[in-house]
Structure formats: structure tokens, C-alpha cells
Chains A and B, each alone.
Chain A
Amino acid sequence: MDIYLPIAELSVNAAVIIGLGLIVGITSGLFGVGGGFLMTPLLMFYGIPPAVAVASSATQVTGSSVSGAMAHWRRGGVDLKMGAVLVAGGIVGALLGSLLFSLLQTIGQIDLTISLIYVVFLSIVGFSMLTETVRTLRRQAKGIRPKRTKRHNAFIAALPGRMRFRAAGLYISPLAPFLIGILVGVLTFVMGIGGGLIMVPILIYVLGMSVSVVVGTSLFQIVFTTAAITMLHAVQSKTVDIVLAVLLLLGGVIGAQLGARIAIGLPPEKLRLALAILVLIVAGRLLFGLTVAPDNLFSVQLGGI
């Protein structure tokens, strides 16, 4: 069934878009990530203009993260203070991201930049996840207990004005999570992702946050930051396609529940290994797309320069 998207200004096959949402939803439920890193590139491959893809995908992430965030909240799995600092940073980052986005759009480098940022970050995340997981799997095979990770990072300890984050089990300067929030906010805006894939490892390995509240706090910041980003896109670039976002959500929320059920009983380390490989495949595909000679060297933009 064909449906016309009022903002993207083209007609899409509704079944294909819902199917895309379903696949991404299953992936996200299975691996416990937002799945935006899959969604945005898939939408762009399908032919949705990049600006509409990143904006609508942010809206979709808001919806797909809310029920998870609420579940963690009820369980006490959210460090509210930490979450608030991350959201504040995220909003500043989103503002910076929006400036960057419109600058790149005017000079015609937005598509390239989105792809390059994807390649760089997915490669970093994928490789570090892969080496980490392989190491853990080896240790498990040999029966060695993991070494305790270092709790204190010299740079972060040096930041002024320490505060106590009780649930997170941290006594650090709020500047550290604020800066992390900014970084993730910029990336969220430009890439149309939730940012959990980047946020979770940073919270665990850089801040040394206690693992029980990491996912809940990350989901909490994702809901608020992506909501703020949807607002920014709606006011500034006017590229939020609500019809597209709803279609993606229909598939995505169902898929996420299915994925979460499949994940029960699967070994978490093997899941992480699979996720690392998937992330690297997406990065590789995007890199390939940048290096292979395009069929048409020309592109047309309304307005511009």
C-alpha cells in the first residue's frame, strides 16, 4: 500500500516502512539498543531525504525508548541527577548540532558528513565492543574471573566541583557527564540516533558508573534529548515527517517487544558479539558507499549556496 509522506514529499510503500521498523525494533529489543544507527541509514538507502530521515528517526526513537525508560524508572534504575545533567548537556549538544547541520546543508556536505560520522563512530564502537567481548569470552572459556575495572579516570577526577550521584555510585564533577551529554547530543542531532550505543560504554568505562543504573539513565536521557531534538528540527529545519515516524513506530514498538522476548535465555556475551559484528557491517556498508563511484555524479538541491 502506497502512502504519501507530507514532509518528505514522496510516496512510500507503507508495508516496507513498517517492515523496516519491525526489523530495527527486533534488533533493538534483542540487543537492548535504540536501533537508530540502523534506522537512519536504512531510510536513506530507501530514498528518504537525509534531513527528513534523521529528524523523523529522532522522533521515532523518543517513542521507542519511553516504555523502556519507564520500566527502568519503576525499578529504580534511573539516576535522576545524572540523567538531568546528561539531558542538559544533550540539549546544548543538540543546539550545536543544529548549527552544524544547517551549515553543512548550505555548503552541500551534509550527506557526506552524516556518512563519515557514521563510519567513524560505528567503527570505534564496533571494534571496541568486539575486542571487549572476545576478551570476556576467552576469559570465560579459561575460567578466569574478570579483573576489576579501574574506577577512577585521572582527567575526570581533576575536574572541579565534585557532586554525589548516589544511584550511580559516583562522586565526580557534573562537568564530566555534561560534556558527555554535549558530545552525544551533537551526534544524536546529526545522526538521528538515540545515542545509547555510545552513551552506555562511556558511562561504564569512562565514568565508572554502576552498571545497574546505566541502561535506565541512558534511556532517560534518550527520551528527553530526542524529544528536544524533534522540537529543534520541527522549528528550524521543518523536516520532521510525523507520518513516517508513526509508520516506523508501529513496526518498531512491536519489534522491540519481540526482540526482547527472543533475547531472554540467549547468552548476553554472544548477543554483544553479534551486535558488534552488525555495527561493523553497517559501518563497512556506508564506507563502501562512499568509495564506490556513484552512478550519477550530479545532485540537485532546491535553493542552496
Chain B
Amino acid sequence: MRILLLLAALIAAPAGAQVAPRLIADLSQSRIDIVYTFAGAELLVFGAIQYPDGKMPDERPDMAIIVRGPPESITVRRKERVLGVWVNTDAVRFETAPAFFHAASTRPILDIVDERTAAIFELSPEYLQLSPGGGADAATVTAFEAGLLGTWGSEDLYGADPVGVDIVEDVLYRARIDLPSKVPVGTYSVEIHLIQDGDVVSSATQTISVEKSGFERAVFMMAQNKGAAYGVFAVSIALLLGWLAGVILKR
């Protein structure tokens, strides 16, 4: 992705004779802590467009902002009716699906760029390059990609907001992206693209980490790293609570 951005910047620079505008970007927070009250979070992406020599553009600029979670290898399964019961039959594996992907733009993405640019910059979930595992034919892969977008779309892990970026006075921009409580932990990247005349003319990237913290982290780490101790702990708590309840409630 970074290489793509760099290439795009290199190509874009000589094309327009003038120097490209610069993007200044910041996030409402640089990390999101998952604590016991965590019920999702709201990420605010904001900043300014700095035009060379302070010259404002003739047309309103367009922007696309992408929040992308850590890449995961996943398996998508499809159910079919077998003897009256719905059973998982076919499966397609995708090697690099982001575990979270939300896109926001000033206008519907195909009103701003053509499909090719949308695919190069992965400006919307349907343009993600998911690297399907071998074996399946193109039609099957397309169907399973749609299945993935539908499934994670309904869980709010994937989404696109065609009017999610506001630009004030052609200079200040902001976008709000909601993270559901089911967000996976890891390092997220936020990609901010300025689009003029159907082309990405400037980009900026920020990162944000989503981590469990405090009690939630302690429990998770113990469960992951010290399984046996965690098991003993869980059994002891269960026995203690059960015994206490019996003693207290018996009068």
C-alpha cells in the first residue's frame, strides 16, 4: 500500500505542472483502549489542506478517508441445504483481508474517481484486493467476496459512507468513523486522500492502535499465555461463588 501511494505521488507530481497541495492530518486519539465498559468507539479524523502559495482551487476538492484494520487470513464459508438442513459446504480462503475496513468520502466514490483508481487505492470495501487462496474459479471468488462484504458489513466491521467527509471552506476537513465493540485489536492505518479531477493528488497516513487495557488486557493475556493457571483461576472462582451462594442463601 505504501509503495502504491509513493508510486502514485511520483506519477502525480510531474503530471500537474504545479506543486500538489499538502495534507495535514490528525486523529482524535492515537490509541483506543478496550476496557470493561468498552461498547465501541468513535474516531475523528481531521486536518487541513495546504495549497501551494495559498492558491485556492477553482473547483471544490474531494477526499476519501480509509480506516483499515490489521490484515488477517480468513475463511469464508457458504451454507447449502443438505437433507433439509443448512450445512457449510464450500469455503474460500482469503490471505489478506483487513479485519476492519471503513471508507468515507465527500461524494459517492465513483462520482470522484474511475474504477481503476478506486481499485488501486482501495477506496471502498468492494475494491479491496483480498488475495484469494488457490483452487476456486473467478465466479466463485466474486460470490464469496460479496459474502464477506455482506457478513462483515452487517457487523459494522466493513462499511462505506459516501457523504462521510466534510470539507469546510475548501480547507478544513473532518470525518467521523464508528468502531463497533467487536473491533479486532491491532494496529490500524488511516489513509487520507485528496482527489482532484479524478486523480489522487495528495495522501497522508496516520496509525492508531486498538488494544485491550487494564483488567481486560490482564485477563486476555493470562488466558493466552498461561492457559493452565487461567483454568485453575476460572475453576476456583466458579467453586468459590457457587459455595458462597449456597452458604448465604441457605440462611
Q: Which residues does A use to contact B, with CB under 8 Å?
A: 2-4, 6-7, 9-11, 59-60, 62-68, 70-71, 108-109, 112, 116, 223, 227, 230-236, 238, 240, 242-243, 245-246, 249-250, 253-254, 256-257, 290-294, 296-305
Interface residue? B20 (CB, 8 A): no
Residues 123-158 of B, flagged 1 when their CB comes within 8 A of A and 0 if not, give 000000000010000000000100110111010000
A227 to B235, Cβ gap below 8 A? yes
- Structural contact, B246 and A67, CB atoms closer than 8 A: yes
A291 x B231 contact (CB < 8 A)? no
B88 A242 Cβ-Cβ under 8 A? no
Q: Evaluate contact between B74 and A4: CB separation under 8 angstroms.
A: no
User: Quick check: is B73 within 8 A (CB to CB) of the other chain?
Assistant: yes
Contact of B230 among A68, A227, A240 (CB under 8 A): A240
Could you show 29 A-B contacts with beta carbons less than 8 Å apart?
Answer: A2-B39, A2-B181, A4-B36, A4-B38, A9-B184, A59-B235, A66-B242, A68-B246, A70-B246, A227-B235, A231-B231, A233-B231, A234-B230, A234-B231, A235-B231, A240-B230, A243-B219, A246-B241, A249-B241, A254-B249, A257-B250, A298-B76, A299-B79, A300-B75, A300-B148, A301-B76, A304-B91, A305-B91, A305-B93
- Contact residue among B73, B99, B224, B243 (Cβ-Cβ distance under 8 Å from A67): B243
Q: B245 near A: Cβ within 8 Å?
A: yes
Shortest Cβ-Cβ A-B pairs, 7 listed: A67-B246, A304-B75, A234-B231, A298-B147, A253-B245, A63-B238, A11-B181
**Interfacial chain B residues near A231, Cβ < 8 Å:** 228, 231-232, 235
With A and B bound together, what is the CA distance between A26 and B84 in angstroms?
Answer: 35
Q: Please indicate the chain A residues that have their CB under 8 angstroms from the CB of B243 in the complex.
A: 66-67, 70
Residue of A nearest to B75 (CB): A304
CB–CB B246/A253 < 8 A: yes
| Residue ranges of B at the interface with A (Cβ–Cβ < 8 Å) | 34-40, 72-81, 84-88, 91, 93, 99, 133, 144, 147-148, 150-152, 154, 181-182, 184, 212, 215-217, 219-220, 223-224, 227-228, 230-235, 237-239, 241-243, 245-247, 249-250
Kindly report which residue of chain A lies nearest to residue B82, judged by CB atoms: A112
Name the A residues within 8 Å of B239 (CB-CB). Answer: 62-63, 66, 223, 227
Task: A245 to B219: give the CA distance in the assembly, Å.
Answer: 13
* Residues of B contacting A305 in the complex (Cβ-Cβ under 8 angstroms): 75, 91, 93, 133
CA distance A41 to B92 in the complex (A): 28
Say yes or no: A9 contacts B223, CB within 8 Å.
no
Residues of A within 8 A of B233 (CB): 242
Bound complex: CA A293 to CA B148 (Å): 18
Contacting residues, chain A, for B73 (C-beta < 8 A): 302-303
Tell me, in angstroms, the Cα distance from A240 to B230 when the chains sit together.
9
**Set of chain A residues within 8 Å of B154, measured between Cβ atoms:** 296
Contact partner of B77 (CB less than 8 A), chosen from A10, A232, A291, A301, is A301
Which residue of B38, B227, B246, B249 is within 8 Å of A11 (Cβ)? B38
User: Using Cβ atoms and an 8 Å threshold, which residues of chain B touch A246?
Assistant: 237, 241
Chain A interface mostly:
helix
From B220, which residue of chain A is reached at the shortest CB distance?
A6
Minimum CB–CB distance for A246 against chain B, Å:
6
| CA distance in complex: A62, B235 (Å) | 7
Contacts of B148 in A (CB 8 A): 298, 300
Report the nearest A residue to B143, measured CB to CB: A298
- Residue numbers in B under 8 Å from A66 (CB-CB): 238-239, 242-243, 246
Q: How far is the CA of A291 from the CA of B184 in the complex (A)?
A: 32
Residue of B with least CB distance to A116: B85
Nearest A residue (CB) for B87? A112
Tell me the minimal C-beta distance from B77 to chain A in angstroms: 5
Q: Is the CB of B91 within 8 A of A230?
A: no
Give B184's nearest chain A residue, CB to CB: A9
Q: Of A7, A227, A230, which one neighbours B219 at CB under 8 angstroms?
A: A7
Docked CA distance A59–B242 (Å) = 11
- Contacts A240-B234, A250-B241, A297-B147 known; list 17 others, CB within 8 Å: A6-B212, A11-B38, A66-B238, A66-B239, A66-B242, A67-B247, A234-B234, A240-B223, A242-B230, A245-B238, A246-B241, A297-B80, A297-B86, A300-B75, A300-B76, A303-B73, A304-B93
